[in-house]
C-alpha cells in the first residue's frame, strides 16, 4: 500500500513498524521479575504499549481478556489456593496474591513480527506480506492492551501511551536530523517540504500527528551511504503516526464497540473499500494517514474483541470459516490489483486489510495463553524477552542499521584474501546474506546504546540488556517500577 514514503531497503516502508507493539503485572513488578507462584515473569512495565508489550498500567485485570484464560486469580497461585495453604498452617500468614503473568504466546507473536519486518526490509520478498502480516498482528495486540488500560480514566491512559512513545522517537530523530542537516538538507528549500510549512512539519519529529519530513536525496558524512538513505531510514516512522492516531481514537472506538460491536469491527474494512481503492481520493499525507488508519483499524478493534471475550463466545468453526472467506477475498482482490512488486500486499490496501483481518482473527481465536514457552521454544526465551522489552528500539533503528551494513561489507573487499576476482564475485553474490548476518549485531549494539531510553519513558530504572536474566538493573530481579 502507499504510505507517502518512497521505498525502504528495496521495498516500501512496511505498514512495520515496532513502528504496531504488553505485559500484565502489578505496580512494583519488574517486566520479567518472577510472579509469585507462577515460575514465570510477572510482566509489568513495557516501555509503552504499542504492538509489542503489555505495560504495568495494564496490570490488575485478572479475570478479563487473556489474563483470565491463564487461570490467575486474586488470592490464588497456580494449582494452589490460598485457602489450602491456610488449612495446612493456620498460624501462617496468607500468601500474597499471584499477579497475572505474561502471555508468552503474544510475546512470541511480537518477536516473530519484528523479525519478519527486518527480513522483509532486507530482502524485499513480497510473499512475506502474505505469509505473516506483521503490522496487522502488532496493531491487534496493541488494541487489546489499550482496551485493558481503558479501565482507568482515558486521559491518563492516553498521556501514558504518548509519554512512552515519544522519547525513543526523539532519540532517533535527533540522530537522523543531525545527519540530514550535515548532508546539506535545508527543509526550507526542499521541493517537497519547502517554505514555512516545511519548517513547521519538522514538529512531527516531536509529536508525530503527521508525516515527519525527510529529503528524497541528501548527502551522508564521509559519503558512506547513497543519497537516498534518508528515505529508507526514516520511512518506517509512518507507524508511529498510525499508532498515535489509534491511541487518541481508542476511547471513542471502545465506546462504539461496546454499544455496536459488529458495525465497529467491520467499519474499517468498509472505509478501506472507499479510500483504499481509489473510489474516494484524499490527497497528500492526509490521505495516506486515513488509509493506514482504515487498513489497520479492523485489526485494532479485533484487539478490543479479544480483550472483551467476543471471539471466544463464537464457535471456533464459525470464526475460522468466516475469517478464511475474508482472507480469500483479500487474495482475490490482490490478484486483480497487483502493483509493481507483485503480491506485496503493502501496495494493495483493501487486500492488506482483508488478509490481515482474517489472519489476526485466527491467531487470536487459537491463542493458547502460554505462561511459559513450551518445548523447543523455551530455548528462545531470553531473546523473545529482550525483543519484547526493546521492540520500539528495534523497529525504529532497524532500517538505518540495514543501510550501515553496506559500508561494512565494502570494507571486506579490502581484505588481502578478497583481492581475487573470484573472491569478489562470491562476496557480490552473497551480499544480502552478509547484510542479514551483520544487521543483528548492529541491532544488539543499538539496544545497548539507546534501548534504555524506553525504560526512562516508562519511568523505570534503565537496563542495558533486559532479557529476563542477570543481576538487578539488567531485567532479571524484581524491583519497584512506577505505574505509567
Residue 380: pLDDT band by 50, 70, 90 thresholds? very high
C-alpha 363/C-alpha 195 separation (Å) is: 47
Residue 34: pLDDT band by 50, 70, 90 thresholds? very low
Closest CA to 133 of 325, 360, 311, 331: 360
Task: Give the pLDDT score at 353.
Answer: 98
Q: Would you tell me how many other CB atoms lie within 10 Å of the CB of residue 320?
A: 16
Mean predicted confidence (pLDDT) in 102-117 = 92
DSSP state of 347: G
Mean predicted confidence (pLDDT) in 351-356 = 98
- Per-residue model confidence as pLDDT tens digits over 387-433: 999 999 999 999 999 999 999 999 988 888 888 888 888 888 899 99
C-alpha 454/C-alpha 3 separation (Å) is: 26
C-alpha 382/C-alpha 219 separation (Å) is: 39
108 burial via Cβ count (<10 Å: 0-12, 13-18, 19+): middle
C-alpha 300/C-alpha 256 separation (Å) is: 13
Mean predicted confidence (pLDDT) in 322-344 = 96
Task: Give the pLDDT score at 416.
Answer: 86
Task: List, in sequence order, the alpha helices (H) in 336-390.
Answer: 349-365, 381-389
- Per-residue model confidence as pLDDT tens digits over 67-86: 333 333 333 332 333 333 33
For the chain, what is the mean pLDDT? 80
Task: Indicate if the pLDDT at residue 483 is higher than 50.
Answer: no
Compute the residue count for the chain: 484
Task: Indicate if the pLDDT at residue 5 is higher than 50.
Answer: no
Strand, coil or helix: what is 481?
A: coil
Contact 126, 343 (CB under 8 A): yes
Portion of the chain with pLDDT greater than 90, in percent: 62
C-alpha 97/C-alpha 5 separation (Å) is: 49
Amino acid at each position: 500500500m502507499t504510505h507517502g514514503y518512497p521505498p525502504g531497503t528495496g521495498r516500501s516502508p512496511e505498514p512495520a513498524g515496532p513502528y504496531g507493539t504488553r505485559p500484565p503485572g502489578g505496580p512494583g513488578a519488574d517486566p520479567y521479575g518472577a510472579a509469585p507462584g507462577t515460575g514465570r515473569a510477572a510482566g509489568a512495565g513495557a516501555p509503552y504499549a504499542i504492538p509489542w508489550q503489555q505495560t504495568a498500567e495494564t496490570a490488575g485485570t485478572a479475570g478479563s481478556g487473556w489474563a483470565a484464560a491463564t487461570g490467575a486469580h486474586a488470592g490464588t497461585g497456580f494449582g494452589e489456593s490460598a485457602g489450602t495453604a491456610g488449612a495446612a498452617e493456620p498460624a501462617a500468614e496468607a500468601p500474597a496474591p499471584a499477579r497475572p503473568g505474561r502471555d508468552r504466546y503474544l510475546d512470541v507473536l511480537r518477536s516473530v513480527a519484528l523479525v519478519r519486518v527486518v527480513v522483509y526490509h532486507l530482502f524485499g520478498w513480497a510473499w512475506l506480506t502474505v505469509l505473516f502480516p506483521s503490522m496487522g498482528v502488532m496493531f491487534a495486540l496493541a488494541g487489546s492492551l489499550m482496551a485493558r488500560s481503558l479501565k482507568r480514566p482515558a486521559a491518563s491512559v492516553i498521556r501514558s501511551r504518548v509519554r512512552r512513545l515519544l522519547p525513543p522517537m526523539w532519540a532517533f530523530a535527533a540522530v537522523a536530523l543531525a545527519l540530514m542537516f550535515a548532508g546539506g538538507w535545508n527543509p526550507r528549500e526542499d521541493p517537497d517540504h519547502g517554505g514555512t510549512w516545511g519548517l513547521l512539519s519538522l514538529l512531527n519529529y516531536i509529536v508525530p500527528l503527521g508525516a515527519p519530513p525527510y529529503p528524497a536525496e541528501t548527502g551522508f558524512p564521509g559519503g558512506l551511504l547513497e543519497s537516498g538513505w534518508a528515505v529508507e531510514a526514516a520511512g518506517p516512522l509512518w507507524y508511529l503516526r498510525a499508532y498515535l492516531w489509534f491511541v487518541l481514537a481508542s476511547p471513542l472506538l471502545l465506546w462504539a464497540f461496546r454499544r455496536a460491536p459488529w458495525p465497529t469491527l467491520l467499519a474499517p474494512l468498509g472505509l478501506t473499500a472507499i479510500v483504499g481503492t481509489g473510489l474516494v481520493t484524499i490527497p497528500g499525507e492526509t490521505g495516506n494517514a486515513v488509509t493506514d488508519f482504515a487498513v489497520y483499524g479492523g485489526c485494532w478493534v479485533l484487539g478490543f474483541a479479544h480483550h472483551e471475550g467476543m471471539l471466544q463466545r463464537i464457535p471456533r468453526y464459525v470464526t475460522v470459516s468466516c475469517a478464511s472467506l475474508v482472507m480469500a477475498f483479500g487474495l482475490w482482490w490482490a490478484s486483480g490489483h497487483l502493483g509493481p512488486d507483485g503480491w506485496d500486499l503493502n501496495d494493495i490496501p483493501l487486500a492488506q486489510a482483508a488478509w490481515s483481518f482474517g489472519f489476526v482473527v485466527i491467531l487470536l481465536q487459537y491463542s493458547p495463553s502460554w505462561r511459559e514457552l513450551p518445548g523447543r521454544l523455551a530455548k528462545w526465551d531470553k531473546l523473545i524477552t529482550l525483543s519484547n522489552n526493546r521492540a520500539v528500539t528495534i523497529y525504529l533503528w532497524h532500517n538505518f542499521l540495514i543501510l550501515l551494513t553496506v559500508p561494512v561489507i565494502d570494507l571486506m573487499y579490502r581484505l588481502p584474501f578478497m583481492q581475487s576476482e573470484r573472491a569478489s564475485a562470491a562476496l557480490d553474490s552473497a551480499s544480502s546474506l552478509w547484510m542479514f548476518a551483520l544487521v543483528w549485531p548492529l541491532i544488539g549494539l543499538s539496544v545497548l546504546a539507546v534501548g534504555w531510553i524506553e525504560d526512562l519513558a516508562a519511568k523505570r530504572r534503565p537496563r542495558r540488556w533486559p532479557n529476563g536474566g542477570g543481576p538487578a538493573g539488567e531485567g532479571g530481579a524484581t524491583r519497584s517500577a512506577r505505574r505509567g
